[in-house]
A = this chain, B = another copy of it.
């Protein structure tokens, strides 16, 4: 009983691209460049021996095969996500401690984060900090930073916010195990409005 299926990274790229019908948008979602998506999808198509997309000047279209494939891949991904959320953080219900760099806090909407009632159940406290070490020490659960740390063992989720001065992209940094939990999702959604 051996499972055999294509590169799982390729499937991830396909799934996102098919959902958006855009390599560029998929790239944004997955935090890579469009070229990377293009290459992943192409490799996937080569390994399956079929075309999943039709590239038209007006945009992408799923082929018949791609359209058949997508919902089943999505279902599998749902299962992986739910299974992971179910076992992973023994922190269901725990409130998170969050750090924000001082430079960033001046640029965030005033309403955030102290006065957002919606986040009360998820946030224990918010401190000024940009110390990534604090995450490893368990002093902080997450950091909001204006730059990526690109630290391989941390999860970084980009968030595009409307700020005082035009749009601001910030990064929500956590241990990987916290990247998907209810608390994190609630915070990110609230941030993005």
**Interface of A with B (CB < 8 Å)?**
1-6, 8-9, 11-12, 15-16, 19, 29, 46-50, 65, 68-69, 72-73, 75-84, 86-90, 153, 175-180
Contact = CB atoms under 8 A, between A and B. Distances in A.
A88 B48 contact: yes
Question: How many identical subunits does the complex contain?
Answer: 2
A65 B11 CA distance: 26
A48 B181 CA distance: 11
Given A76-B76, A176-B47, A4 B81 contact: yes
Contact of A1 (B19, B49, B153, B179): B19
B8 A8 contact: yes
Nearest to A67: B87
Contact of A50 (B50, B77, B79, B88): B88
